[in-house]
Chain A
Amino acid sequence: EPEVTQTPSHQVTQMGQEVILRCVPISNHLYFYWYRQILGQKVEFLVSFYNNEISEKSEIFDDQFSVERPDGSNFTLKIRSTKLEDSAMYFCASSESGYSNQPQHFGDGTRLSIL
Protein backbone atom coordinates (compact mmCIF):
# COMPACT_ATOMS: atom_id res chain seq x y z
CA GLU A 1 0.00 0.00 0.00
CA PRO A 2 1.41 3.44 -0.90
CA GLU A 3 2.49 5.54 2.03
CA VAL A 4 3.77 8.96 2.97
CA THR A 5 7.47 8.88 3.85
CA GLN A 6 9.30 11.42 5.99
CA THR A 7 12.98 12.06 6.61
CA PRO A 8 14.78 12.27 8.89
CA SER A 9 12.99 10.34 11.61
CA HIS A 10 14.77 12.40 14.27
CA GLN A 11 16.46 15.78 13.94
CA VAL A 12 18.45 17.45 16.70
CA THR A 13 19.27 21.11 16.11
CA GLN A 14 20.71 24.00 18.06
CA MET A 15 18.35 26.88 18.81
CA GLY A 16 18.56 29.54 16.11
CA GLN A 17 19.57 27.12 13.38
CA GLU A 18 17.55 26.44 10.27
CA VAL A 19 16.00 23.02 9.76
CA ILE A 20 14.36 21.39 6.75
CA LEU A 21 11.98 18.48 7.16
CA ARG A 22 11.31 16.36 4.11
CA CYS A 23 8.26 14.43 2.96
CA VAL A 24 7.36 12.34 -0.05
CA PRO A 25 3.56 12.30 -0.36
CA ILE A 26 1.63 9.48 -1.97
CA SER A 27 2.24 9.77 -5.70
CA ASN A 28 -1.27 10.50 -7.02
CA HIS A 29 -2.20 12.84 -4.18
CA LEU A 30 -2.67 16.51 -4.88
CA TYR A 31 -3.08 18.05 -1.42
CA PHE A 32 -0.27 18.12 1.13
CA TYR A 33 -0.28 19.10 4.77
CA TRP A 34 2.00 19.65 7.74
CA TYR A 35 0.85 19.06 11.29
CA ARG A 36 2.76 19.09 14.53
CA GLN A 37 2.26 17.36 17.84
CA ILE A 38 3.97 18.53 21.00
CA LEU A 39 4.68 15.57 23.27
CA GLY A 40 1.52 14.31 24.94
CA GLN A 41 -0.74 16.85 23.25
CA LYS A 42 -3.11 16.94 20.32
CA VAL A 43 -2.22 17.12 16.66
CA GLU A 44 -2.21 20.72 15.38
CA PHE A 45 -2.67 21.88 11.80
CA LEU A 46 0.12 24.01 10.38
CA VAL A 47 -0.45 24.40 6.65
CA SER A 48 -2.08 22.92 3.57
CA PHE A 49 -0.61 23.12 0.07
CA TYR A 50 -2.14 22.63 -3.35
CA ASN A 51 -1.02 23.43 -6.86
CA ASN A 52 2.27 24.89 -5.60
CA GLU A 53 0.55 27.34 -3.30
CA ILE A 54 -0.41 27.51 0.33
CA SER A 55 -4.18 26.87 0.61
CA GLU A 56 -4.56 27.57 4.28
CA LYS A 57 -2.30 28.13 7.26
CA SER A 58 -2.75 28.34 10.99
CA GLU A 59 -1.65 31.01 13.44
CA ILE A 60 1.29 28.78 14.35
CA PHE A 61 2.61 29.00 10.79
CA ASP A 62 4.29 32.39 11.07
CA ASP A 63 7.12 33.95 9.05
CA GLN A 64 9.60 31.49 10.51
CA PHE A 65 7.96 28.68 8.57
CA SER A 66 7.87 28.03 4.85
CA VAL A 67 6.87 25.12 2.63
CA GLU A 68 8.03 24.16 -0.79
CA ARG A 69 7.61 21.48 -3.41
CA PRO A 70 11.08 21.65 -4.95
CA ASP A 71 10.45 18.86 -7.45
CA GLY A 72 7.73 16.43 -8.50
CA SER A 73 7.97 14.24 -5.43
CA ASN A 74 9.27 16.08 -2.36
CA PHE A 75 7.40 18.43 -0.04
CA THR A 76 9.45 20.30 2.54
CA LEU A 77 8.88 22.30 5.70
CA LYS A 78 11.57 24.83 6.61
CA ILE A 79 11.91 26.49 9.98
CA ARG A 80 14.27 29.44 9.60
CA SER A 81 15.46 30.16 13.11
CA THR A 82 14.38 27.43 15.47
CA LYS A 83 13.18 28.08 19.00
CA LEU A 84 12.97 25.72 21.96
CA GLU A 85 9.17 25.63 21.62
CA ASP A 86 9.49 24.25 18.09
CA SER A 87 10.44 20.91 19.62
CA ALA A 88 7.67 18.53 18.56
CA MET A 89 6.78 15.68 16.25
CA TYR A 90 6.07 17.00 12.75
CA PHE A 91 3.75 14.97 10.56
CA CYS A 92 3.32 15.31 6.84
CA ALA A 93 0.03 14.14 5.31
CA SER A 94 -1.44 13.95 1.85
CA SER A 95 -4.87 13.42 0.29
CA GLU A 96 -6.14 12.75 -3.21
CA SER A 97 -8.20 15.92 -3.27
CA GLY A 98 -9.53 18.64 -1.02
CA TYR A 99 -13.03 17.17 -0.81
CA SER A 100 -14.52 16.39 2.58
CA ASN A 101 -14.76 12.66 1.85
CA GLN A 102 -11.03 12.23 1.23
CA PRO A 103 -8.86 10.93 4.06
CA GLN A 104 -5.53 12.46 4.90
CA HIS A 105 -2.80 9.84 5.19
CA PHE A 106 -0.03 10.61 7.65
CA GLY A 107 3.66 9.80 7.49
CA ASP A 108 5.54 8.40 10.47
CA GLY A 109 6.73 11.86 11.46
CA THR A 110 10.00 13.63 12.21
CA ARG A 111 10.85 14.19 15.85
CA LEU A 112 12.46 17.63 16.07
CA SER A 113 14.49 18.35 19.18
CA ILE A 114 15.79 21.89 19.69
CA LEU A 115 18.66 22.28 22.15
Chain B
Amino acid sequence: QQPVQSPQAVILREGEDAVINCSSSKALYSVHWYRQKHGEAPVFLMILLKGGEQKGHEKISASFNEKKQQSSLYLTASQLSYSGTYFCGTENGGAQKLVFGQGTRLTINP
Protein backbone atom coordinates (compact mmCIF):
# COMPACT_ATOMS: atom_id res chain seq x y z
CA GLN B 1 0.00 0.00 0.00
CA GLN B 2 1.44 3.33 -1.03
CA PRO B 3 2.21 6.04 1.52
CA VAL B 4 0.15 9.22 1.48
CA GLN B 5 1.91 12.53 1.11
CA SER B 6 0.55 15.89 2.14
CA PRO B 7 0.19 18.50 0.91
CA GLN B 8 0.00 17.65 -2.79
CA ALA B 9 1.44 21.01 -3.76
CA VAL B 10 3.07 23.98 -2.05
CA ILE B 11 3.95 27.41 -3.39
CA LEU B 12 6.43 29.46 -1.38
CA ARG B 13 8.44 32.61 -1.65
CA GLU B 14 12.19 32.24 -1.40
CA GLY B 15 13.22 32.14 2.25
CA GLU B 16 10.00 30.62 3.56
CA ASP B 17 9.75 27.24 5.29
CA ALA B 18 7.82 24.14 4.28
CA VAL B 19 6.86 20.81 5.81
CA ILE B 20 5.98 17.75 3.74
CA ASN B 21 4.43 14.75 5.43
CA CYS B 22 4.48 11.09 4.48
CA SER B 23 2.15 8.65 6.25
CA SER B 24 1.77 4.91 5.99
CA SER B 25 -0.84 2.49 7.28
CA LYS B 26 1.79 -0.26 7.44
CA ALA B 27 4.71 -0.61 9.84
CA LEU B 28 7.80 0.98 8.40
CA TYR B 29 11.47 0.14 8.64
CA SER B 30 12.69 3.15 6.77
CA VAL B 31 11.59 6.17 4.79
CA HIS B 32 13.65 7.41 1.85
CA TRP B 33 13.23 10.97 0.60
CA TYR B 34 13.94 12.02 -2.98
CA ARG B 35 13.62 15.21 -4.98
CA GLN B 36 12.84 15.09 -8.68
CA LYS B 37 13.10 18.03 -11.03
CA HIS B 38 11.06 18.01 -14.20
CA GLY B 39 12.43 15.55 -16.75
CA GLU B 40 15.19 14.33 -14.46
CA ALA B 41 15.88 11.34 -12.24
CA PRO B 42 14.90 11.28 -8.57
CA VAL B 43 17.83 12.46 -6.46
CA PHE B 44 18.39 10.88 -3.06
CA LEU B 45 18.12 13.26 -0.10
CA MET B 46 18.14 11.15 3.05
CA ILE B 47 16.98 8.00 4.78
CA LEU B 48 15.12 7.88 8.06
CA LEU B 49 15.24 4.63 10.00
CA LYS B 50 12.66 3.57 12.55
CA GLY B 51 13.54 4.92 15.96
CA GLY B 52 12.43 8.54 15.54
CA GLU B 53 15.81 9.62 14.23
CA GLN B 54 16.13 13.11 12.80
CA LYS B 55 18.59 13.81 10.02
CA GLY B 56 19.71 16.90 8.24
CA HIS B 57 21.14 17.87 4.89
CA GLU B 58 22.03 21.57 4.65
CA LYS B 59 18.73 23.32 5.38
CA ILE B 60 16.66 20.21 4.74
CA SER B 61 15.94 17.89 7.63
CA ALA B 62 13.51 15.10 8.37
CA SER B 63 12.04 13.12 11.21
CA PHE B 64 10.43 9.72 11.59
CA ASN B 65 7.64 9.18 14.11
CA GLU B 66 7.39 5.44 14.59
CA LYS B 67 4.18 5.58 16.61
CA LYS B 68 2.39 7.53 13.92
CA GLN B 69 4.14 5.70 11.06
CA GLN B 70 4.88 9.09 9.62
CA SER B 71 7.88 10.95 8.35
CA SER B 72 8.11 14.71 7.86
CA LEU B 73 10.52 16.61 5.64
CA TYR B 74 11.41 20.14 6.74
CA LEU B 75 12.74 22.71 4.30
CA THR B 76 14.07 25.79 6.05
CA ALA B 77 14.69 29.16 4.41
CA SER B 78 13.87 27.68 1.02
CA GLN B 79 16.01 28.46 -2.00
CA LEU B 80 14.97 28.54 -5.67
CA SER B 81 16.93 25.31 -6.18
CA TYR B 82 14.57 23.48 -3.81
CA SER B 83 11.80 23.56 -6.41
CA GLY B 84 10.73 20.15 -7.65
CA THR B 85 8.58 17.21 -6.68
CA TYR B 86 9.41 15.49 -3.42
CA PHE B 87 8.72 11.80 -3.07
CA CYS B 88 8.88 9.64 0.00
CA GLY B 89 9.61 5.98 -0.53
CA THR B 90 8.70 3.60 2.23
CA GLU B 91 10.25 0.26 2.92
CA ASN B 92 8.91 -2.50 5.14
CA GLY B 93 12.11 -4.45 5.71
CA GLY B 94 14.82 -5.59 3.31
CA ALA B 95 15.31 -2.33 1.35
CA GLN B 96 14.56 -4.27 -1.78
CA LYS B 97 11.38 -2.46 -2.71
CA LEU B 98 10.54 1.18 -2.25
CA VAL B 99 6.89 2.12 -2.45
CA PHE B 100 6.62 5.78 -3.35
CA GLY B 101 3.98 8.30 -2.44
CA GLN B 102 2.25 10.36 -5.08
CA GLY B 103 4.67 13.25 -4.60
CA THR B 104 4.49 16.83 -3.35
CA ARG B 105 5.16 19.53 -5.91
CA LEU B 106 7.11 22.39 -4.36
CA THR B 107 7.37 25.70 -6.21
CA ILE B 108 9.67 28.40 -4.90
CA ASN B 109 9.14 31.88 -6.29
CA PRO B 110 11.63 34.76 -5.99
Contact = CB atoms under 8 A, between A and B. Distances in A.
A and B, one complex?
Answer: yes
A49 to B, nearest CB: 9
B-side interface size class: 20 to 34
Contact of B30 (A50, A55, A91, A100): A100
A100 B93 contact: yes
Contacts of A100: 29-30, 47, 49, 91, 93-95
A101 B29 CA distance: 9
A45 B94 CA distance: 14
B52 interface: no
Interface string A63-101: 000000000000000000000000000010001011111
B98 A42 contact: no
B32 A104 contact: yes
Contacts of A99: 95
Contacts of B97: 45, 48, 56, 58
B103 A42 contact: yes
B96 A48 contact: yes
A28 interface: no
B95 A42 contact: no
Nearest to B93: A100
Interface in B91-110: 91, 93-103
Contacts of B91: 100
B41 A106 contact: yes
Contacts of B36: 43
B43 interface: yes
Contacts of A102: 47, 95
Given A43-B42, A91-B41, A103-B32, 13 more contacts: A42-B103, A43-B36, A43-B87, A45-B97, A56-B94, A95-B95, A100-B47, A100-B49, A100-B94, A101-B30, A104-B89, A104-B95, A105-B44
Please name the 3 residue pairs, one residue from A and one from B, whose CB atoms are nearest each other, closest first: A100-B30, A48-B96, A106-B41
Interface of A: 31, 33, 35, 41-45, 48, 50, 55-56, 58, 91, 95, 97-109
